[in-house]
Structure 1
Amino acid sequence: MRITEPYTIFLRKLPSGRQIYYYQFRDEDGRRSAAYSTGTDKISQAKRICQRLYNEGKFSSSRQLLFSTFSSGFFDENSPYNKWKKTNGNELAPSTLSSYKRLLEMQIVPYFGDMPLRKITTDTVKKWIVWLNENWSAKTSNNAQSVLNIILKSAKEKKLISEVPSADLSFRKIKKKNRELLTTKELNRIYHSPLWGKDWECARRAFLTCAITGMRIGEIVGLQTFEVGNDRLNVEHTLHPKFGLGPTKTRVCRFVPIPKVLRLKEQCGSRWAFQKIDEEKPCLAGFIYKRLMLICDSLGIDHKARGITVHSLRNMFISYMRGSSFGETIDLKIKAVVGHADESMTDWYTYWKPEMFPEIYEIQEKLFKEITEGEK
């Protein structure tokens, strides 16, 4: 269906002889309005003025405002949405903005782009969700639905629509993947594999640190030397291969206890905790992942069938901790170590100190020994 242009721009000669650009827009029935002055004789400026008025819904033809027009640039760095997030103290990481843009471009605009905002109904959104579920995973579907909610909520705030048609629709249930975690014996064999190579000893240490802290791999490779202590790590950043250092996933800084037997502090590079010999660059997560997969293949560990990735080390750590003799009593401490978000008031009033983690240190030292002692 062809959508008629919502406004037109034209020159009008004033009695003074000056020429000014005027505009007309269409009402809800498609009829042209009276002519209004833009106050400028420059066509580029007149177009910007009309587009801004249109985007703000100042024309009575706002019913014809297309979704693609309204959502254009919505997640740009300097967009009104992102500026408000910054003002609110909830600034989105560059990687998050990039992800939102990708979802908008790939999963949302292809379906809703040519639709007027006010033509998007709950039934329309339901059909879109069915389309998503037929073509993408549950996670992608849910993420796209969340992004659509953000955009339509903004449209309602601007009074371009009366309600958010997607607001009360449930998300798709995500089935938990069946994973067979690495055992400590397998971790031991991986740690002692010669395939790490002498030049990439930092990757092996990063692997080991992942296994005994449960930290996210981005947090591991983003550790800087000054953030490493003898018995703790100050976790303030995550390292993205494209966007560099950014905040942690939960935007909360925390410290993570490490056993002194790890001796990580004395092995740090000049800037990065995990730094390749004779280089100022950190060991990247992608290399650690590829090396781990290579070693698994060499040891006959079917990482594909078992769903093993670097992130599996985090799953293993949490499961190992919760399954220990301390499991029932240290859940809050485990959550604090791995950086899981929770809105409970218990967290709000809890301030952790290293001396409050004797159980964590004890289990970590045991795990360290199981992984690093002579090959079994």
Structure 2
Amino acid sequence: MIRRHQDYILYQRSKKLRKSQKRKPIYYYQYRLPDGTLSNPRSTGCKSQTEAHRYVQSLIDNGTILCGSDLLFKSYASKFYDENGTWIKDKKALGTANKPGIGEIQIKKYQGFVNHYFVKYLPNNPLSSFTPSDIKEFRQNLLENEKLSRKTINDIMSCLRIMFTAAMDDGLVPKNPFRGIKPLLTEPKPRDAFSLEEVKQIVEYFKSEDLIRVYIIVAACTGMRLAEINSLRKSNIKNTYIDLKDQYRRGKLFPLKTRESRKIPICSELYNLLISTIPEGKEFVFDSLSDNRASDKLRGMLIKTMPEKRNEHGYCFHSLRHFANTYFLSKEIAPIKVASVMGHSTGVSSMQERYTNFTEKDFSEFYVVQSELFRYLTN
């Protein structure tokens, strides 16, 4: 019988042997499940009790087996999002080179949630003892003590839900403590598109800061995200399109937000501007700009020249992306083509996938509209 403080028990088991055979018995082990019952017997493969103890303890230490009712929350949480953890390795295995199952940024974010919030506010109780009330109390602490936004709190709760769902699937908890718990309602902040005249005003404002000006033009003419523009380099700028496969943040290249590579048509004027902007001997177009430099400069310009509009419409760098999307649609370019260029998230086998194999003739109208926009903004 396993005692309450024990994670597992060992015992010997041997096959019936003929009198001429001599063999020491093998040690088997069983560990406690969340409901208090024992697991099925498993062989240690060891004939020495000391070796058997070391073997089972190593399984517990590396997370191969998790002793249900005695497994403390912080022990489980601290290893769950490790790079070599089962969940992360499985998520990566589900993806491909062009569409990873989970990005490095997301992994770091989840690890940050564990280190900053789970360890601070969640009790280090046995994993199997958590209740919906514990989860609600944790969320209330995030609201009242951390003063986090509702969207951020929902992200943290989703991260925690993943852990308990996995524990439930593995039989480590008798009931999921997230049952009946719904996400917090959020009030989306306005983030409208710039008007064509406002984009023209922005471009003219930065006429003395040529690199920022080029950055703004690229964003307005392509709808690319900030980190995507940061990733632009000589090798992925082709004569008629940008072969976009990654984004650049904090000094590293990461998979795209949607984890789907895409090709963005560029007119000849935009191609020439990009190529001429690349510093001599460098690979990145905006090599001398820090990650958020263009965004910070634009924010400063908006605060200085149109503070009321900025507050009312939620104007920011991302509003250039909204402008591009709205502008292309207003020129009667097919929505499915605009979605393909903008890189809006799509499901597998969606209609958008027909444009994965890029050809110029598929986007002939896009070149015309983009060229007209480019000339308007630069003249």
Q: Which residue of 2 aligns with 1:108?
A: 118
Q: Which residue of 2 aligns with 1:347?
A: 352
Going from structure 1 to structure 2, the CA distance change for 1:313 and 1:49 (only over 3 Å counts) comes to same
Is it true that 1:312 corresponds to 2:344 in the alignment?
A: no
Post-superposition offset of 1:317: 1.6
Is it true that 1:161 corresponds to 2:173 in the alignment?
A: yes
More deviation, 45-54/130-139 = 45-54
CA distance in 2 between partners of 1:185 and 1:139 (Å): 33
Contact residue 191 and residue 208 of structure 1 kept, 8 A: yes
Is it true that 1:124 corresponds to 2:130 in the alignment?
A: no
| Structure 1 gap segments, 5+ residues each | 9-22, 31-35, 276-280
Is it true that 1:246 corresponds to 2:254 in the alignment?
A: yes
Q: Which residue of 1 aligns with 2:20?
A: none
TM-score (norm 1): 0.76
Q: 1:372 aligns with which of 366, 374, 378?
A: 378
Post-superposition offset of 1:195: 7.0
Is it true that 1:258 corresponds to 2:266 in the alignment?
A: yes
Is it true that 1:362 corresponds to 2:368 in the alignment?
A: yes
More deviation, 250-259/263-272 = 263-272
Q: How many residues align?
A: 333
Question: Which amino acid is the alignment partner of residue 85 of structure 2?
Answer: S
More deviation, 349-358/146-155 = 349-358
Q: 1:140 aligns with which of 149, 152, 165?
A: 152
| Structure 2 gap segments, 5+ residues each | 9-28, 37-47
Give the aligned CA root-mean-square deviation in angstroms: 3.4
Contact residue 229 and residue 265 of structure 1 kept, 8 A: no
Post-superposition offset of 1:28: 8.5
Question: Which amino acid is the alignment partner of residue 144 of structure 1?
Answer: I
Going from structure 1 to structure 2, the CA distance change for 1:67 and 1:331 (only over 3 Å counts) comes to same
CA distance in 1 between partners of 2:33 and 2:372 (Å): 74
Contact residue 135 and residue 178 of structure 2 kept, 8 A: yes
Alignment of 1:184-223 (within 5 A): 184-194=196-206, 197=209, 201-223=210-232
SS in 1 for 2:248: strand
CA distance in 1 between partners of 2:34 and 2:184 (Å): 36
Is it true that 1:236 corresponds to 2:236 in the alignment?
A: no
SS in 2 for 1:285: coil
Is it true that 1:272 corresponds to 2:277 in the alignment?
A: no
CA distance in 1 between partners of 2:290 and 2:226 (Å): 9
Post-superposition offset of 1:121: 2.4
SS in 2 for 1:233: strand
Post-superposition offset of 1:340: 1.0
Going from structure 1 to structure 2, the CA distance change for 1:87 and 1:371 (only over 3 Å counts) comes to same
Post-superposition offset of 1:304: 4.9
CA distance in 1 between partners of 2:318 and 2:170 (Å): 41
Going from structure 1 to structure 2, the CA distance change for 1:192 and 1:151 (only over 3 Å counts) comes to same
Q: Deviations over 1:20-59 (max 9, x none)?
A: xxx9x999899xxxxx944289xxx78963742887224x
CA distance in 1 between partners of 2:166 and 2:34 (Å): 22
Q: Deviations over 1:250-303 (max 9, x none)?
A: 11111001222222343142443523xxxxx35333111122123334434454
Q: Which residue of 2 aligns with 1:81?
A: 87
Q: Deviations over 1:302-326 (max 9, x none)?
A: 545542221221122222233x141
Question: Which amino acid is the alignment partner of residue 234 of structure 1?
Answer: D
Is it true that 1:226 corresponds to 2:230 in the alignment?
A: no
CA distance in 2 between partners of 1:261 and 1:27 (Å): 66
Aligned residues: percent identity?
A: 24
Going from structure 1 to structure 2, the CA distance change for 1:292 and 1:27 (only over 3 Å counts) comes to closer
Going from structure 1 to structure 2, the CA distance change for 1:54 and 1:191 (only over 3 Å counts) comes to closer
TM-score (norm 2): 0.76
Q: Which residue of 1 aligns with 2:163?
A: 151
Contact residue 277 and residue 285 of structure 2 kept, 8 A: yes
Is it true that 1:97 corresponds to 2:73 in the alignment?
A: no
Q: 1:49 aligns with which of 41, 58, 67?
A: 58
CA distance in 2 between partners of 1:212 and 1:142 (Å): 34
Q: Which residue of 1 aligns with 2:341?
A: 337
